[in-house]
Structure 1
Amino acid sequence: MEFRELEKRAMTIRVRYAEFEKAKSGAAWTNEELALGFVGDVGDVAKLVMAVNGRREIANAREKLEHELADCLWSVMVLAHAHEVDLERAFARAMDELEERLSPND
């Protein structure tokens, strides 16, 4: 799946989640709440990485890690969209900067 297709699917799911949140609690999550949810997912990733590397005991850690990493990607895409960040362009620019920083000085 191409990056723009992933973004489109992420936003379709976000709209559905917003409807679910409104029905459940009366309001969709704010951008701040989405960011806090992302932070929670990152914490889960940290624990699962420890488990995959033998430092914690978590059943099905690799499968759960895949799921949490995908959740994090979804959150990043949703937050980028909410803040009008062209994530594909920003990622390419960030990678260019890293490559330049890591290149031997001429």
Structure 2
Amino acid sequence: MDIQELQARAITIHDLYDALNLAERGRTWTRADFMLGFVGDVGDLAKLVMAAEGARAMPGGRAALEHELADCLWSVLILAHRYEVDLESVFTRTMGELEESISDRLGRRSGSA
């Protein structure tokens, strides 16, 4: 699956959540709600990473870690959709900028040695 296919799948689930939230709560999630949900998922992911590294006990093991990683990716894809960000082009540009910056810094370090 490429990033457009991932985002399309994420939007399908987003739309299902909108329908469910509207039916159960009379409202859909705002962009701020999605951001708060993402923060919660990142917190859960942090705990699972700590558990995977032996720093804490956490049920679920690898399956829970995989699930939270997928939840976090879903949130990023949905936030990009809700803010009309073309993740593929922005990711490509940002990684190019980072590669150039890191390579320059490494070059300066090896040139000064």
TM-score range, shorter chain: over 0.9
1:34 paired residue number: 34
The alpha-carbon deviation at position 94 of structure 1 amounts to 1.1
Shift >2 Å, 4+ stretches: none
The alpha-carbon deviation at position 97 of structure 1 amounts to 1.0
The alpha-carbon deviation at position 61 of structure 1 amounts to 2.2
**CA shift digits 1:5-57 (9 cap, x unpaired):** 11101001100110001011000111100100000000001000000000011
AA of the residue aligned to 2:58: I
Q: Work out the percentage of aligned pairs sharing the same amino acid.
A: 55
1:54 paired residue number: 54
> Within 2, Cα distance between the matches of 1:59 and 1:13?
26
**CA shift digits 1:58-87 (9 cap, x unpaired):** 122221111001000000000001101001
**What TM-score comes out, normalization by structure 2 length?**
0.89
Q: Does 1:19 pair with 2:19?
A: yes
AA of the residue aligned to 1:84: E
> Within 1, Cα distance between the matches of 2:65 and 2:58?
10
AA of the residue aligned to 2:71: D
Count of matched residue positions in the alignment of Structure 1 and Structure 2:
106
> Within 2, Cα distance between the matches of 1:66 and 1:74?
12
Q: Which moved more, 1:96-105 or 1:33-42?
A: 96-105
1:73 paired residue number: 73
AA of the residue aligned to 1:36: L
> Within 2, Cα distance between the matches of 1:59 and 1:37?
21
Larger Rg: 2
SS in 1 for 2:84: coil
1:44 paired residue number: 44
> Within 2, Cα distance between the matches of 1:79 and 1:14?
10
| Gapped regions of structure 1 (runs ≥ 5) | none
